[in-house]
Structure 1
Amino acid sequence: MYISETRIVVRYAETDKMGIVHHSNYFIWFEAGRTDFIKGSNISYSEMEENGILIPLAESNCKYIIGAKYEDELIIKTWVKQLTPVKVEFNYSVIRENDQKEIAKGSTLHVFVNNDFKIINLKKVNKEIFNKLESLI
């Protein structure tokens, strides 16, 4: 199973008055991890879009374990939990690099659609892209 690793350094603007990262930033980091994961399959989001394949978000969740702080160096580990011809679910683990503690974990569920936002069967529409994703599981 392929697991991508995205490195993030917490910026001051990402923290709140309590000095911890605001919860909304984790979803931005998940997106960064997901983008790196897709690149690991030798395709990119823009390439998928050029082929008329979009993967909008259908569900997201995050469990916050320990608050990240300014200048923490983080690793966002990303992998596919489930892939079907119509949807893909990504899992994420946010690791604080200096002590290797998992500080958050989450998942996002995406549906494959065309430019008209109609659900498609990716395996039928573009078997090559489906196979590249499947090879990483």
Structure 2
Amino acid sequence: MIISKTLELNEILIKPRFCEIDSLLIVHHSRFIPWVEEANFNFVEQVLNISRKQLFEIDLYNPIHKLEFMYKNNVKWDDELIVSTVMEYNQFALFTMHNTISCRKNPSKIFATAKISLLIANKELKLKLLMPDFYLSKIKQAEKVYPQYFIKSDHVQQSK
């Protein structure tokens, strides 16, 4: 018997719903995107400690710049999935969420990986050039506690 692991802060549990499957009891690949989006919101809430309400109140929006998926295995209706997220950032107003969709009972079985690059903009979708201080401070605070959840891209200026 395989004991399922406890979820980390950067993970969510997904149980496919009947409406997401086809006649072969396989989940349609289009459902993977909402799962990853939910995992990314979970990361912002649980790891960065920014509520969904705060995101709207501070006038910061994250339009998608680039979306890459690599499908590796079919997801069946009775599979339980873990979607994990790691954030790559730098001082510019662009960050990337790296996601892995894996089997809860057999974590070495990967269903898909995703890489979503997001921009930072205001309500009028005017793009920012640099990462806003609010975001950057939240990222740096979280990175001190959970360094394994972050990747610094090459463009980060190292403080001396």
Q: Using the alignment, how far apart are the partners of 1:3 and 1:93 within structure 2? A: 14
TM-score calculated relative to the size of structure 2: 0.77
TM-score calculated relative to the size of structure 1: 0.88
**RMSD (CA atoms):** 1.8
Would you say 1:106 and 2:114 are equivalent positions?
yes
Q: Determine which structure has more spread, i.e. the larger CA radius of gyration.
A: 2
Q: One-letter code of the match for 1:74?
A: L
Q: Using the alignment, how far apart are the partners of 1:83 and 1:68 within structure 2? A: 34
Q: Using the alignment, how far apart are the partners of 1:28 and 1:35 within structure 2? A: 11
Give the 5 Å matches for 1:28-39.
28-39=34-45
Would you say 1:62 and 2:48 are equivalent positions?
no
Task: Give the corresponding residue for 1:127.
Answer: 133
Give a deviation string over 1:91-111, Cα, whole Å, max 9, x none.
000011112211111111110
Q: One-letter code of the match for 2:121?
A: V
Give a deviation string over 1:2-24, Cα, whole Å, max 9, x none.
97011011111111233211111
Counterpart secondary structure, 1:24: helix
How many residues of Structure 1 are paired with residues of Structure 2 in the alignment? 134
Identity of aligned residues (%): 23
Q: Using the alignment, how far apart are the partners of 2:121 and 2:139 within structure 1? A: 16
